[in-house]
Structure 1
Amino acid sequence: MQFLSPGEIVLKTLVQLIPVWASLALLLTLSFVFRRRLGLYGHVVASGTGLAGLILVGFWLFAAIFANQIELFNPLAQIAELQHAAPGAIDPHSGLPYLFGGDKLARDVFGRVVAGARIVLIIAPLATLLALSVGIALGLPAGYFGGRIDATLSFLANLVLAFPIILLFYLLVSPGILETPIPYVLAAIFFAFPIVLFSIFFIAGYRARPAALAVRLALTFIAGGWLFATFVFNADPFGLIQVSPSTLNIFVAVALASGPGIFRIVRSLTLDIKTREYVFAAQTRGESPWYVMLWEILPNARGPLIVDGCLRIGYTTILLGALGYFGLGMPPESPNWGTMINESSRFMRIYVHPALPPALALMSFVLGLNLLADAIREESLRD
Structure 2
Amino acid sequence: MQLEYVGAFQIVLGIIARFWPVWLALAIIVVPSFAYRARLGLYGQLFDTGVGITGVLVCLFWLFTAIFSARIAPFDPLDQIVVMKNALPGAMVPDDGGVFLLGGDKLARDVFSRMVYGSRIVLIIAPTATAFALMVGITLGLPAGYYGGRIDSFLSFLANLVLAFPVILLFYLLVTPGIMDTPIPYGMAGLFFLFPIIFFGALFYTRFKGRPQLLLLQLAVTFVIGGWVYAGLVFNADPLGLISIRPNELNIFVAVVFASSPGVFRIVRGLVMDIKTRDYVAAAQTRGETPWYIMLWEVLPNARGPLIVDACLRIGYTTILLGTLGYFGLGLAPESPDWGTAIKDSSRLLRSHIHPALPPVFALMSFVLGLNLLADALREQSLKD
Same fold (TM over 0.5): yes
**For 1:76 and 1:241, how far apart are their aligned partners in 2?**
22
Query: What percentage of residue pairs aligned between the two structures are identical?
Result: 63
Instruction: Name which of 163, 172, 176 aligns with 1:170.
Output: 172
Farther-moved stretch of structure 1 (231-240 vs 185-194): 231-240
Which residue is 2:324 aligned to? 322
Contact 2:228/2:238, CA 8 A, preserved across alignment? yes
| C-alpha RMSD of the superposition | 0.9
**For 2:118 and 2:197, how far apart are their aligned partners in 1?**
29
**For 1:110 and 1:130, how far apart are their aligned partners in 2?**
31
Which residue is 2:227 aligned to? 225
Are residues 50 and 324 of structure 1, via their aligned partners in 2, closer, same or farther at CA, if it must alter by over 3 Å? same
Contact 2:248/2:331, CA 8 A, preserved across alignment? yes
Which residue is 1:140 aligned to? 142
Instruction: Name which of 283, 286, 296 aligns with 1:284.
Output: 286
Unaligned runs of 5+ residues in structure 2 are none
**For 1:243 and 1:287, how far apart are their aligned partners in 2?**
41
**For 2:107 and 2:167, how far apart are their aligned partners in 1?**
33
Instruction: Name which of 90, 95, 98 aligns with 2:97.
Output: 95
Query: Aligned partner of 1:48: which letter?
Result: G
- How far 1:211 moved relative to its partner? 2.5
- How far 1:311 moved relative to its partner? 0.3
Is 1:131–2:133 an aligned residue pair?
Answer: yes
Once the two structures are superposed, what CA deviation does each residue of 1:270-290 show, in whole Å capped at 9, x if it has no partner? 000001111111111111111
Report SS of the residue matched to 1:310.
Answer: helix
Query: Aligned partner of 2:140: which letter?
Result: L
Farther-moved stretch of structure 1 (41-50 vs 130-139): 41-50
Which residue is 1:300 aligned to? 302
Report SS of the residue matched to 1:78.
Answer: coil
**For 1:5 and 1:89, how far apart are their aligned partners in 2?**
9
- How far 1:163 moved relative to its partner? 1.1
Which residue is 2:188 aligned to? 186
**For 2:95 and 2:200, how far apart are their aligned partners in 1?**
53
Query: Aligned partner of 2:197: which letter?
Result: I
Aligned runs of 1:208-287 on 2, under 5 Å?
208-287=210-289
- How far 1:172 moved relative to its partner? 0.4
Which residue is 1:73 aligned to? 75
Query: Aligned partner of 1:343: which letter?
Result: D
Aligned runs of 1:5-16 on 2, under 5 Å?
5-16=7-18
Which residue is 2:109 aligned to? 107
Report SS of the residue matched to 2:56.
Answer: helix
Once the two structures are superposed, what CA deviation does each residue of 1:302-355 show, in whole Å capped at 9, x if it has no partner? 000000000000000001000000000111111010000000001111111100
Query: Aligned partner of 1:339: which letter?
Result: T
**For 1:370 and 1:212, how far apart are their aligned partners in 2?**
40
- How far 1:226 moved relative to its partner? 2.1
**For 2:249 and 2:22, how far apart are their aligned partners in 1?**
27
Aligned runs of 1:35-46 on 2, under 5 Å?
35-46=37-48
**For 2:266 and 2:44, how far apart are their aligned partners in 1?**
29
Once the two structures are superposed, what CA deviation does each residue of 1:7-59 show, in whole Å capped at 9, x if it has no partner? 00100111110110111122111211221111111111221111000111111
TM-score (structure 1 length as normaliser)? 0.99
Contact 2:229/2:243, CA 8 A, preserved across alignment? no
- How far 1:2 moved relative to its partner? 1.4
**For 2:278 and 2:117, how far apart are their aligned partners in 1?**
47
Unaligned runs of 5+ residues in structure 1 are none
Which residue is 1:379 aligned to? 381
- How far 1:379 moved relative to its partner? 0.3
Farther-moved stretch of structure 1 (88-97 vs 190-199): 88-97
- Moved beyond 6 Å, runs of 4+: none
**For 1:46 and 1:238, how far apart are their aligned partners in 2?**
43
Once the two structures are superposed, what CA deviation does each residue of 1:94-125 show, in whole Å capped at 9, x if it has no partner? 21101111111111111100000000111000
**For 2:88 and 2:224, how far apart are their aligned partners in 1?**
49
Report SS of the residue matched to 1:298.
Answer: helix
